[in-house]
Amino acid sequence: MSFPLLTATAALPAVGAIATAAVPAARRSAAKWLALLVSLATLALAVTVLVRFDPDGDRYQLTESRAWIAEFGVRYELGVDGIGVALIGLTALLIPFIILAGWHDADPLETKSSRWRPTQGFFALILAVEAMVIISFEATDVFLFYIFFEAMLIPMYFLIGGFGDRAHAGSDENASAQRSYAAVKFLLYNLVGGLIMLAAVIGLYVVAGNFSLQEIAEARANGTLDMATSTERWLFLGFFFAFAVKAPLWPLHTWLPNAMGESTAPVAVLITAVVDKVGTFAMLRFCLGLFPEASKWATPVILVLALISIIYGALLAVGQRDIKRLVAYASISHFGFIVLGIFAMTSQGQSGATLYMVNHGLSTAALMLVAGFLISRRGSRLIADYGGVQKVAPVLAGTFLIGGLATLSLPGLAPFVSEFLVLVGAFARYPVVGIIATLGIVLAALYTLVLYQRTMTGPVKPEVSAMPDLRVRELVVVAPLIALLIGLGVYPKPLTELVNPAVEHTMSDVQQKDPEPEVEAAK
């Protein structure tokens, strides 16, 4: 039997989480280093997956299949396509930076007399989330996917509620109440979505007789699976609802600003750059793969919801006074672009949506982590409490600017390529939708540049006059992200070659072809 590479890639951070949690209370520094080493080893395995994956080979590669719950047709089935490989790579890449950025985030909770080990718990929970996200990108059994899709809510709940942001104005009791509210809201929204999806998963089994994504797709293609139109639509809605909550898509988005605002900056990155990508990834793999006709039937409504997310999220970002909530609403707008690209039903749109998932992860991580370094120095999330930072901390201000410019998709930075492809793909099939979506670009420039102007330029406020610049650990976190944003912005070909064959398979699932250009032939 060949080495189970996909299992190892997910199992290593899971084992690392257990080992980190078991580190003795007095050895919190050892727990940090152990978590970092495990995350780097996981990254090495993810790179191995990338190297062994052949974009022009079979649709699902490095596959593993074992009997699990035979009575209900549940199997332990794993496999990756180009989209899954790209997102596994993103996840494994970001986790070491998240750990380094949060190196001291649990330190204020440590007491000499406490038996609770917050440092060990903090880093163990991050590794647990990594393991669950990676196996979600690998699972080709619907029931297996569902288990980890839901299970990741548990460590995320504790990361938000137990290790939340402490840069609050007001009493500690009020800050604790807000963290608890954000954690409970996150959990309830996603649990409701998960329960609705569970009903759809059970319905799928009743109709198809198994949970294998590949077997169901083959049965549909061969005509041996007869799924009534109304049944397919109800099942699609059950799956899509859960993924729209996770994504998050308007009007199911309201948990995200609370969760990101009350989390530490590294946990906020974990939410929006890693965990939320499972929702948009699942739309491509499961909604379009399992329910192609229902996906086309629901497309007009979903495109409207995506447009509302783009414009609504950007408008609310413009009016924010809290730095982290501004980034949260900007992410809602960006997820609207991703959903728009997926359901534009064009190869350019879906390639752009996949690139957007990766590039949004990189740009949001860069911007939010630098914002976290800024907030930790000043002790406030309010934009009005800053001013003139670029004069006292030029490196911090410069990296903040690059992260912001990537967020507004400046040409030459990675998100521009993905946003351009999404808009081209949308305009090719739905010109009016593409035109309206471009308003999101204008608003992104507004909220990003206004944020930079109010925090980094102008007179130096007394409270920031002694602010130190980025330290070595912080530069190690930010510099690679900026390098990737520039590198993939100038040369995105390796990423596009990885995901394009998978996008072609998805287009084949829904039996769609790109619209022919409406250009008169030259005479």
- Dump the DSSP string for 123-166: HHHHHHHHHHHHHHHHB-BHHHHHHHHHHTHHHHHHHHHHSB--
Strand partners of residue 67 = 75
Q: What is the pLDDT along the chain (523 residues), one digit of tens a residue?
A: 478 999 999 999 999 999 998 888 778 888 889 999 999 999 999 999 999 998 888 888 888 888 888 777 788 899 998 999 999 999 999 999 999 998 887 766 665 445 556 888 889 999 999 999 999 999 999 899 999 999 999 999 988 888 876 655 444 566 677 888 888 888 998 999 889 999 999 988 888 878 888 888 888 777 777 788 888 899 999 999 999 999 889 888 888 888 888 888 899 999 999 998 999 999 998 888 888 889 889 999 999 999 999 999 999 999 888 888 999 999 999 999 999 999 988 888 999 999 999 999 999 999 999 998 988 888 888 888 888 888 888 999 999 999 999 988 899 999 999 999 999 989 888 889 989 999 998 999 999 999 999 988 888 888 888 888 889 998 999 999 999 999 999 999 988 989 899 888 888 877 777 677 666 655 5
Check residue 33 and give its pLDDT.
92
- Count Cβ neighbours within 10 Å for each residue of 183-194 and write b for 16 or more, e otherwise: bebbbebbeebb
Check residue 521 and give its pLDDT.
53
Check residue 178 and give its pLDDT.
81
- Contact between 321 and 265 (Cβ < 8 Å): no
- Contact between 29 and 73 (Cβ < 8 Å): no
Distance CA 48, CA 61 (A): 13
Check residue 19 and give its pLDDT.
92
Q: Is the dihedral of CA 34, 37, 42, 48 positive or negative?
A: negative
The three-class DSSP label of residue 75 is strand
For residue 282, give the nearest of 182, 200, 159, 183 by alpha carbon.
200
- Contact between 72 and 57 (Cβ < 8 Å): no
Neighbour count for residue 231 (Cβ, 10 Å): 16
For residue 383, give the nearest of 324, 321, 330, 328 by alpha carbon.
321
Check residue 1 and give its pLDDT.
47
Whose structure tokens read 């030459």? Answer: 412
Q: Using the 8-state DSSP alphabet, how is residue 510 labeled? A: T
Distance CA 98, CA 54 (A): 29
Q: Using the 8-state DSSP alphabet, how is residue 70 labeled? A: G
Check residue 352 and give its pLDDT.
92
- List the structure tokens of 250: 């308007």
**What is the bridge-based pairing of β-strands 61-69 and 74-80?**
antiparallel
Check residue 520 and give its pLDDT.
61
Check residue 170 and give its pLDDT.
47
**DSSP secondary structure of 329-388:** HHHHHHHHHHHHHHHTTSHHHHHHHHHHHHHHHHHHHHHHHHHHHHHHHHT--BGGG---
Alpha helices in 382-458 (DSSP H): 389-392, 394-407, 414-429, 431-437, 439-456
Q: Using the 8-state DSSP alphabet, how is residue 253 labeled? A: -
Q: Peptide bond before 292: cis, by omega within 30 degrees of 0?
A: no
Residue type (1 letter), 193: G
Distance CA 312, CA 305 (A): 10
- List the structure tokens of 281: 């990834």
Check residue 305 and give its pLDDT.
94
For residue 336, give the nearest of 321, 365, 316 by alpha carbon.
316
